[in-house]
Every structure is written in C-alpha cells, then in structure tokens.
Chains A and B, each alone.
Chain A
Amino acid sequence: MAAKWLVPMLAATWLLLPAAAECQQPSDTFRSAAEMELKVKNAVADLTVPESPAFAALGLSPETIIRPATPREFATALLNGVDRSGHVQTGLAIEVAPYLVYAGSRVTLSDYRASRVTQVLSHTTASFATTKASSDEDKTVRLALGVHATLYDSEDPRLDNDQLLNCYADMPVFRPLVLPVSPDLTVRAQQERQLAEDRRTFETSVLIPGVEACRTKFQRNARWNGTSWIVAVAPTWIAPTGLAGDLDGGSLAAWTSLSYGFDSVPGLQNNAQVTGHFRHLSNELVTDAALAGGKETRETTIAGVRFRAGTTGFGLSFEASYIRTAAAGRADDTSSRLAFGADRRLADNLWLTLSMGGDHGVSAGTPSGLSMLGALKFGLSKDPSITDEQLRKLIAAPK
C-alpha cells in the first residue's frame, strides 16, 4: 500500500524540487544514494557489443594489446603465438583491422565514401587472445578469435562532411624552393636540415592551426543517438595440454545490436534512441560445485531492448531484457529484468536522479523457481546517471 503512494510522491517531488534544491550541495547521504543507484545500474543487462569479442569471450581486459599496422607486423604477432615446441603462448592479445592492414594503402577517401562494402570492411576488426588456467599444475590453454563489424553507422565521420573537407582543401601545401641534391655532401646535409626545418615549421604554423580552425568551424558533431548496426562473433578453443595441436572446439559467442536514432524525425532525431540487442553463447562449459556432477554445458541467450532520451538538462532510460539458460538434464532457466531511470539537472554539477529496477525469474533457492526483486532509488548526484557517462562513451567510441 505504501509503495502505491511512494512512486507518485517521489515523482512529484522530483518535478517540483529543482528550485528549492539549487542551493544544496551533494552530501554523504546523497553520495550514498548515488552509490545505491549505481548498483541498480550495474544490475541492468549490458546491451552493448564488445569492441574486442575475443577478449570478451575469455573474460579478459588485457593491459597490452598488439595492434599490427602492416602485414609483416601481423604475421610476426601471429607467429609469436606459438613457440617452437608447439605450445600456445598465453597472455597474447592482438587486435587488427585486416582489410586496412592488407589493402589500406589502396583505399582512398574517395573509394571509402563511394562504397558501402569498403566502409564495412574498414570497420571490421579481428581480435585474438589466449589465456591459461589459473593454477600452475593445470596446463589448459584457452584461445579465442573474435570478429567485430559495424555494418552501418549513421555517424561515420568520413561521410557527410563536405564542408570540413572543402575547408581542408583550401589550405596550401608545403612547397620547398630547393631540394637537398647538391653534389657537395656538406651543402647537401645543410639543405636536408633546412628542408626538414621548413617542413616542420609549415606543419606547426600553417597546417595544424588551419586544421583546428576548420574543425572549429565545420566539424559535424556526431549525434550520441546515431543509427547503427553492429555484429560480433567469437569462437573459442581449448587445449588441455597447452599444445597448439591439441586445440579442440570450445564455446561460440555471438552479439548484435541494432540502434535507431530517429533520423530525420523532428523532435527526436537529436534526443532519442532505441536499441535492440541479442546475444547467444553456446557450448559454454561451466564448472560449479553446486551443479550435479560439478559442471554442465550451457546455452545462454540474452535479448534486450533499451530506449533512451535526453536533453542537456533531462535524461530518461528504459531497459527490458530477457535471459534464457539451457543445459542438458534440467529445465531451462528464464528470467527477465526491467529498469527505468530518469535524471533532471538542478544546477551545474547537481542532478536529481530517480531509478527503478526489477527482476523476475529463477532463483536457485526457491523450489518454485520464481523470485521477484525490485529497487527504487532516489537521490542527488554530481553527474547524471544516464546522459553523462553512457553517452560520452558512445560519442567517444571510435567509428
């Protein structure tokens, strides 16, 4: 009964409080509320496609990633993956855009802008990672190969930017009057130094300031809510002996996210986005003492949808997700989750935050297999929970 009145009361307060709250500063109480809210946010299913599927499939966040830029570097990186005795080297993390490595020198900006296939190939990356079991005795090595492709991106900075490119095109090019070709080697060395100095001076005093001026004037601001379609897949293999020759099939993970940014829809095209996400993990071997036999092979499917809308002073988010886990010898587990959040800016660096979340699904401790979890959080924080971090990440993400 209390809950029946709680939500409208808090909602009314949330709408009416701004003027009164402008003078307030975040306190420990507010910080605590924000931390609680963060827990709700963290409980929301991740509906993004990993940039490096191989690392995600192995649960890795490697500190050092090899990013080969030439075919030679790529081949060297792969050859270093196996030692002379055939053992897979562990701790390896490689990320590469194969098309650009092998054909990048022939891909002009004109080619790119004219061909959708070129755009997709240029935005397709492969990742490769290896890891070993945590104990010294266990020689098991896991290996993953991932492919990530952006099939469509309405905010591709290489497209729809003619004004910026025309501005770049108006800048002069470096034109030396003398080449360092004197037959006198001393003179030639001096000519080379002069040419290098003149080139540097042109770059720093003409080109770089010119580029900055063009960007300030004409750079198209990418919408945070662009329309895009991203897919990724990552098979994994396991070598119980650590030898490359003993690699055997492991799991297969696949992700896809389709976002729609209400392109050309007045009132929404800069303020709203809806994202559908689907993920499937097959043949995942899970070891757990609580399971019959200590382990099982699972198939996991996650589907979700998220709606986000926001302005500079207001943010709104709604997410719904569904998770299904299947394994031989037992009934399927299914659960669903709903989450809602809203932010309203009260003053600079002061946001009023409201978030609610709820789960519905299987609980191992309940004979019926059903449980309900709910949460309602309300408080003040220095940063908006929806429009700030998530959107900054989206905007900053390399296209």
Chain B
Amino acid sequence: MADIKSVRLNAADGPPNVEITIGHAQFGKYELQLFDTDGRNPVVVGSGLSHDKLPDNFQIDGDPRSLNGRFLSWSANIIPAAAGANQQFSLTVNVRQKNRDVAGSPIAVQGALPGAHVEFGFVKLEVG
C-alpha cells in the first residue's frame, strides 16, 4: 500500500497556485480536482490541454486554512504525439505559494509511453 504524499502550505502565504506540465512534447488533456478530507466529493479546480496556448496553472482561491486535510488530484490522458519506439512521457505538478514551490512540491512522474495512457495521482494538503 502506497504512502499518501502530502504538500505543506503556509497559512500566511496566501492562496496556492498549482501548475501541471505534461512534457516530452506529448499530447495531454488534464483535470485538477479538489476532494474533501475523506477523499470524496470532488470539485474540478482546473483543466486544460498541453498543446494550446492557455496557461496550465490555476490558483485555488480562498483561505489556505480551508484546504487543510483536503486532497488535490490530477488526472491526465497522455497520448503519444508521434509514432516510433522509445516514446517517453512526464507529468509534473508544482504547488506554489508566493511563486515558490512548497514543501513536497514538485511531484513528478516519468515513464515509457508505448500507447495512450491515463496518469492519475493525488496529494494531501497540509496547512501549517
């Protein structure tokens, strides 16, 4: 059973900003969701595409203290943008306050991408 990863927010540093980067020039469609403290009732807080010109970062508005114990998840469809062997994918989530990564950020995954792939992960938000 995997440990639950967490990122540590500072209550005094204002609303956190979450950026998701789907690298290796692969196609990616993603959603960021915020779950409540028992891992239910998801709410979409951001979504986007890796090939458009829109920014891939989202501010989670409100008092950071209201996020304590909640879970931030990301889900992405990652599809090879070119044919050929040895295709790789990477997904990086940066959680920042005051433009600096908070403790536990970034969260990065990388691997081979032989075909279309669903990448899903989450972290617990801890506010100190």
A residues bordering B, Cβ < 8 Å?
67, 69-70, 100, 104-114, 118, 122, 156-158, 165, 168-169, 171, 173-182, 185, 188-189, 191-192, 195, 199, 202-203, 207-208, 210-211, 398-399
Contact = CB atoms under 8 A, between A and B. Distances in A.
A181 B75 CA distance: 17
B103 interface: no
Contact of B116 (A109, A178, A192, A211): A211
Given A105-B108, A211-B116, A157 B83 contact: yes
A109 B85 contact: no
B27 interface: yes
B124 to A, nearest CB: 7
B66 to A, nearest CB: 18
Residue of A113, A168, A192 most packed against chain B (CB within 10 A):
A168
5 contacts: A104-B23, A105-B108, A106-B21, A158-B81, A203-B118
Contact of A174 (B81, B115, B120): B120
A59 to B, nearest CB: 24
A67 B25 contact: no
Interface string B78-108: 0101111110101010000000000000001
Interface string B35-77: 1001110100001011111001000000000000001010111
B18 to A, nearest CB: 16
Given A109-B28, A114-B53, A179-B122, 19 more contacts: A69-B112, A105-B110, A106-B92, A108-B50, A109-B51, A110-B51, A112-B25, A165-B49, A165-B51, A168-B27, A169-B49, A174-B118, A175-B33, A175-B75, A179-B71, A181-B4, A207-B118, A208-B115, A398-B83
Nearest to B23: A105
A157 B1 contact: no
A168 B39 contact: no
Given A158-B25, A178-B39, A398-B84, A113 B51 contact: yes
Nearest to A175: B75
Given A104-B24, A108-B23, A203-B118, A173 B31 contact: yes
Contact of A104 (B4, B71, B88): B88
